[in-house]
Amino acid sequence: MQGFNVLVLRKMKKCWIAFFVLNIRILKWFRDLDSFPP
């Protein structure tokens, strides 16, 4: 049971990292859009 929990935690960690990176990219993209002159 302990090993299974570790596997789930590792998968969740990877998902969280991917989610975090995606959020940073989206924020940068929006910032670039805001910096464009109208």
Q: What is the pLDDT of residue 38?
A: 58
Stronger pLDDT, 36 or 4, i.e. the higher one: 4
Model pLDDT, residue 12: 93
| pLDDT score at 34 | 78
- pLDDT tens-digit series, residues 19-38: 999 999 999 988 888 776 65
Q: Please state, in angstroms and rounded to a whole number, the distance separating the CA atoms of residues 20 and 8.
A: 18
**Gap between the Cα atoms of 10 and 4, Å rounded:** 10
Mean pLDDT, residues 13-22 taken together: 94
- Output DSSP code: residue 29: H
pTM of the model: 0.53
